[in-house]
Amino acid sequence: MDSEYDQAVTLPLSGVLVADFSRVLAGPYATMLLADLGATVVKVERPSSGDDTRAWLPPVDADGQSTYFDSVNRSKWSIDLDIADATDLAIAQRLAQRADVMVENFKVGALGTYGLAYGDVRAANPGIVYCSISGFGSGAGAELPGYDILVQAMGGLMSITGTSEPTKAGVAVVDVLTGLHATVAILAALRHRDVTGIGQHLEVSLLSTLLSSLVNQASAYAIAGVVPTRMGNAHPSIAPYEVYPTADRPIVIAVGNDAQFARMAQAIGAGHMATDERFATNALRVAHREALKAELIGLLAQRGADHWQEVIGAVGVPCGPVNDIADAFALAARLGLDPIVEVNDARRSGPRQQVANPVRYSQTPIRYPSAPPRVGEDRAHVLALLGLGPEPR
CA distances from 99 to 63, 76, 95, 325 (A): 31, 14, 6, 38
Query: Per residue in 344-380, pLDDT tens?
Result: 998 888 888 999 999 999 999 999 999 999 999 999 9
Residue 83: phi, psi to the nearest 5? -70, -5
User: Can you list the residues of the chain whose pLDDT is less than 50?
Assistant: 1-9
CA distances from 320 to 249, 257, 270, 339, 370 (A): 11, 18, 19, 19, 36
Q: Please give the class, per CATH, of domain 3-213+338-385.
A: alpha beta
Distance CA 274, CA 302 (A): 20
Instruction: Tell me the three state secondary structure of residue 108.
Output: coil
pTM of structure: 0.92
The one catalytic residue in 175, 258, 306, 338 is 175
Question: 241-330: which CATH topology?
Answer: formyl-coa transferase, domain 3 (3.30.1540)
Beta-bridge mates of residue 130: 102, 201
The pLDDT of residue 63 is 87
What is the domain partition of the chain in residue ranges?
A: 3-213+338-385, 241-330
CA distances from 124 to 93, 128, 144, 161, 251 (A): 10, 9, 31, 47, 58
Residue 107: phi, psi to the nearest 5? -55, 135
In the residue annotation, 175 being an active-site residue is answered as yes
- Residue 139: DSSP 8-state: S
The pLDDT of residue 391 is 85
The pLDDT of residue 3 is 40
